[in-house]
């Protein structure tokens, strides 16, 4: 069995969303602090994993500047983040890997110890899957289903679930057993994501504070 506490998994950046609240287009390519939003995600995740890929649909050439493999959903229609997870698992199987960790392309400030904490949570709970979660006293626990540790061994089960119409991440993860890696959201939720134009403005402010 793979030692989840020490091995570096593969990383997959989920960039297959439709960006409706941003007005469409490639949200991941919007400029933040002089580089594309997804560039910040790559910089955060790359040191934590053994190799990286981008999950995106459409013309892969638009991500060519990043020099990473681009893998498309294998489930027809927009099936949500689980379709991106499946694409990542299929890619990882071809690499002979046992696990992937996913991160959303619109979340530039996630923790630099995300992968290790996900692995520790899965191992402590004896669970095959782990998701990130943030907590504060006002909102309680908030799971972040696009930030997870996923075993390649469950890819065929996930494929069948998607083909049967399942779309909600937690419905599938709860079916198999899912640990939570808890992160504090004080003073700022590290999983803050850029959904709307005003979120991009806030991200600029947060980035400026981070660089001070």
Number of domains in the chain: 1
Say which DSSP state 126 is in: T
pLDDT mean across residues, the chain = 90
Q: Which domain holds residue 116?
A: 10-211
Residue 22 lies in a domain: yes
**How does pLDDT run across 87-126, given as a tens digit for each residue?**
999 999 999 999 999 999 999 999 999 999 999 999 999 9
Residue 2 lies in a domain: no
Q: What is the mean pLDDT of residues 15-35?
A: 74
Domain with residue 67: its CATH number is 3.90.550.10
**CA distances from residue 86 to 15, 22, 62, 80, 207 in whole angstroms, order as listed:** 13, 25, 22, 11, 32
Confidence band (pLDDT; 50, 70, 90) for 210? confident
For residue 8, is pLDDT > 60? yes
Confidence band (pLDDT; 50, 70, 90) for 19? very low
Residue 159 lies in a domain: yes
């Amino acid at each position: 069995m793979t030692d989840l506490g020490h091995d570096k998994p593969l990383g997959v950046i989920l960039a297959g969303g439709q960006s409706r609240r941003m007005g469409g287009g490639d949200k991941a390519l919007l400029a933040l602090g002089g580089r594309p939003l997804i560039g910040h995600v790559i910089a955060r995740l790359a040191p934590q994993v053994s190799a990286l890929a981008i999950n995106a649909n459409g013309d892969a050439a638009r991500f060519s500047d990043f020099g990473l493999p681009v893998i498309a959903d294998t489930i027809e229609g927009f099936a949500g983040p689980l379709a991106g997870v499946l694409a990542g698992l299929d890619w990882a199987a071809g690499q002979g890997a046992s696990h992937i960790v996913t991160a959303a392309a619109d979340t530039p400030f996630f923790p630099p110890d995300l992968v290790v904490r996900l692995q520790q949570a899965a191992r402590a709970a004896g669970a095959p899957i782990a998701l990130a979660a943030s907590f504060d006293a006002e909102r309680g626990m908030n799971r972040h289903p696009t930030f997870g540790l996923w075993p390649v061994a469950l890819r065929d089960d996930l494929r069948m679930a998607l083909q049967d119409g399942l779309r909600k991440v937690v419905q599938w993860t709860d079916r198999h057993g899912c640990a939570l890696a808890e992160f504090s959201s004080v003073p700022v939720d590290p999983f803050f994501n850029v959904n709307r134009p005003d979120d991009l403005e806030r991200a600029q402010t947060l980035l400026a504070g981070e660089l001070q």
